[in-house]
Amino acid sequence: MTRHYNFCAGPAALPTAVLERASREILDYQGRGLSVMEMSHRSSEFIAIAERAEADLRALLAIPANYRVLFLQGGASLQFAMLPLNLLGKGGSANFIQTGIWGKKALTEARHLGFECVVAASSEANGHIEVPPQSTLTPSADAAYLHYTSNETIGGLAFDYVPKVDAPLVCDMSSDILSKPIDVSDYGVIYAGAQKNIGPAGLTLVIVREDLLDQAVTPSPTLFNYRQLAEAGSMVNTPPTYAWYLAGLVFQWLQEEVGGLEAMREINQRKAQKLYAAIDSSDFYSNPIAVRSRSLMNVPFVLADEALDAAFLREADAAGLLNLKGHRSVGGMRASLYNAVPEAAVDALIDFMADFEQRKG
């Protein structure tokens, strides 16, 4: 069996140790004679798995007691709609910092539902290569919340600060949650699709401050209602049980194998710095993002000669370096360096890039 290095932006690499454990437990979970996939979500076995996963996540992120953790479905994209539905029931507008494609989708969905939306800052004028600084944020006086995307997965643009505003802060952390420690109390709502740093696709995490649970638009569908989901322990209906279990294994891996989020941050910084250094020291590869706004998770780069893109991707794939193609909307290359991508993968990529440049540059 060979596991190649997977640089996919999502669904992304999972820790090999997690997949090995899941494979050991897949037919017979801890002597119960059945798979987690075959368990009732209301069984004591599954409730224990679910509670452990939440407790481990709370410990990793130091989530304060006045926050609820929801394990949902629908992806981060459903949150684009659920956020205004849950937060604008008492009026006010949704404010957004626009730094790329995902933030724009969040804004477009809120607008589509008829909510008043305000762009409080945007990097559109600079082509989304540098995050707008705190001093340029102009949220409206009636802002019910300010939404931003801490890491734009396609552009490779990340915030190097946490915005400070009066309104509750709502953050799409889909592509950088758990990559480093954060202070959860800075936020009203944090949400993330699981398929990058949490686990397999099909699960969405929402961490919401309790005082924000009671401002939903009424009536709204039960499955879209944070209060009702929180009261039901995310089990208004059948949750994505196997994805929840795997996320729990990832949380255990982060704590026990990696040593927590500070250790994870150091590894992630080292991985990204190496790759940016390799790109910056070459005339053949380039990355357009302002240094302070560069993502540690997603590193887009282009080749000096676009005509070589296909050969680069073909040869990388043959060398066991998978999924380096940039997003279809921007082209070029993108290496996603999520938590489960080992440092050795980055070293192998850098070696490959140098060799390719030498042969074709």
Contacts to ligand PMP by CB under 6 A: 10, 75-77, 102, 149, 153, 172, 174-175, 193
Is 76 labelled a binding residue? yes
- The residue (of 206 and 345) whose beta carbon lies closer to ligand PMP is 206
Q: Retrieve residue 296's tokens.
A: 């540690």
The answer to whether the CB of 153 falls within 8 A of the CB of 102 is yes
Catalytic hit among 56, 104, 172, 253: 172
Q: Is 196 a catalytic residue?
A: yes
What percentage of the chain's residues is helix, strand, coil (to nearest 5)?
40, 15, 40
Q: For residue 116, which of 79, 141, 136, 148 has the smallest C-alpha distance?
A: 141
* List 56, 104, 176, 196, catalytic entry: 196
Q: Is 253 annotated as a binding residue?
A: no
> Rounded CA gap, 156 and 160, in Å?
13
- Least separation, in Å, of the C-beta of 272 and ligand PMP? 17
Rounded to an integer, what distance in angstroms lies between the CA atom of residue 103 and that of residue 154?
Answer: 11
Q: Is 136 annotated as a binding residue?
A: no
CB nearer to ligand PMP: give 94 or 303: 94
Q: Is 172 annotated as a binding residue?
A: yes
Residue 102 is assigned to a ligand binding site: yes
Whole-number Å distance between alpha carbons of 311 and 298: 21
CB of 313 vs ligand PMP, minimal distance in Å = 20
Assign 356 to helix, strand or coil: helix
Q: What residues are paired with 322 via a beta bridge?
A: 6
User: Would you give the DSSP letter of residue 113?
Assistant: T
Min. distance of Cβ 192 from ligand PMP in angstroms?
8
The closest alpha carbon to 187, from 206, 174, 214, belongs to 206
218 appears as a binding residue in the annotation:
no
Compute the distance between CA of residue 84 and CA of residue 109 in angstroms, rounded to an integer: 9
Active site residue 244: no
Nearer Cβ to ligand PMP (244/356)? 244
351 is in an annotated binding site: no
- Which residue lies nearer to ligand PMP by CB, 174 or 293? 174
Which whole-number Å values give the CA distances from 142 to 66, 133, 161, 214, in the listed order?
25, 21, 23, 18
172 is annotated as an active-site residue:
yes
Q: Which residues contact 152 (CB under 8 A, 6 or more apart)?
A: 99, 100, 101, 102, 103, 128, 158, 175, 295, 298
Instruction: Using the minimum distance from each CB to ligand PMP, give the nearer residue, 29 or 244.
Output: 244
To ligand PMP, the closest distance from the beta carbon of 329 in angstroms equals 12
Q: How far is the CB of 52 from ligand PMP (least distance, A)?
A: 24
Q: Catalytic residue numbers?
A: 102, 172, 196
Q: Annotated binding site for L-glutamate: which residue ranges?
A: 42
Annotated binding site for pyridoxal 5'-phosphate: 76-77, 102, 153, 172, 195, 237-238
